A and B are shown apart, each in its own frame.
Chain A
Amino acid sequence: MKRTNKLVAAAAVLTALTAVGTTVHAGTKITFGTSIYRNPAGDGYAEGAMGSARNSYAGSPEYVWCYTGVNFAGAPMGACAVYDANGQFAICNGTGYYQFLAMASAGPDSYIQFWWDTTGKCTYITVANASYNEPKLP
């Protein structure tokens, strides 16, 4: 009788913990694949997320980065790049302070999307830091 009670209690605790665990991990989660689209004219766009690219399947070459810096003259510099699963690489060079700010706002789990022109300069940049972005796994 006593043993049965113990078993029932243990089962109840286990059920409760499972329920709590499920609740903690609930919420929208999105995995963003990397992609690159090139227009024949030489411009195009690319997108990807830091976490999803890093967590992509074994052997995938995918990566995403944004760099920012300041040159000797005190001018801001920045660039973002995407390497997709098909082995395509796209990069854009930031010009101007606002593009620099956008790039500098990228975090470890950010989703990045950018357009470039025929000279490789960024013409549009989106940096999304959102709860549903996939975090990087070790």
Chain B
Amino acid sequence: MSDAARPRRWRWIGGVGVVAVGAFALGHLHAGSDAAPAAKGAPPAPGPRLAPAIASAELKAAIAEAVRDELRGARVAPRGPEAETEAEAEAETETEAEAEAVDRAAAAAARGHAVVDAARQAGRWTRDDAAALRAVLPAMTERQRQAVLDALLPAFNRGELKPDYVGPTF
């Protein structure tokens, strides 16, 4: 047995021992409470005693619970190669999704800058420009959104660009 496995084995034996002692005590407790009060001097009542059956069922349940606890601990503590593969696959999926989101955001930012550049060259900001920008702004990161607006808004404020409609600018 390896040094690492020794404490675990002791824990397991200890757990089963505690459960067994507990079940024994429970059996006695139930036997006392379930038995009808015997008349003074009367012989013990005939018939089957329920206590051993209850104790046995409880013992079985307690052992099952202890085993489950041990298994649960084994699952949480050291991760086997299968679990590692699973985690790697999950991480890979997340990375792929993140990469897709990054690509989408980059494409949206590029489109936004293209709309702004074209409008600045034309000197006017149309309703279609606003709609085009509005369509891509949500897909951008906050930094990308700020960069696009930093290109658009000063052009308005310097008078180089003017909206040719009444309505939301973006």
Contact = CB atoms under 8 A, between A and B. Distances in A.
Contact of A89 (B142, B145, B163): B163
A78 to B, nearest CB: 12
Nearest to A77: B145
Interface stretch (A8-16, A25-33, A79-87, A126-134): A79-87
B155 to A, nearest CB: 8
Q: What is the predominant secondary structure among interface residues of chain A facing chain B?
A: strand
Contacts of B157: 38, 42-44, 90-92, 116, 120
B contact residues, range: 10 to 19
Interface in A103-117: 116
Q: What is the predominant secondary structure among interface residues of chain B facing chain A?
A: helix
A118 B163 CA distance: 19
Contacts of B163: 83, 89
B17 interface: no
A44 B60 CA distance: 81
A65 B130 CA distance: 15
Given A38-B159, A88-B159, A118 B154 contact: yes
Contacts of A116: 153, 157
A57 interface: no
A10 to B, nearest CB: 48
A63 to B, nearest CB: 6
Closest 8 CB pairs of A and B: A120-B153, A119-B150, A120-B154, A93-B149, A91-B156, A90-B157, A89-B162, A89-B156
Interface of B: 138, 142, 145-146, 149-150, 152-154, 156-159, 162-163, 166, 168-170
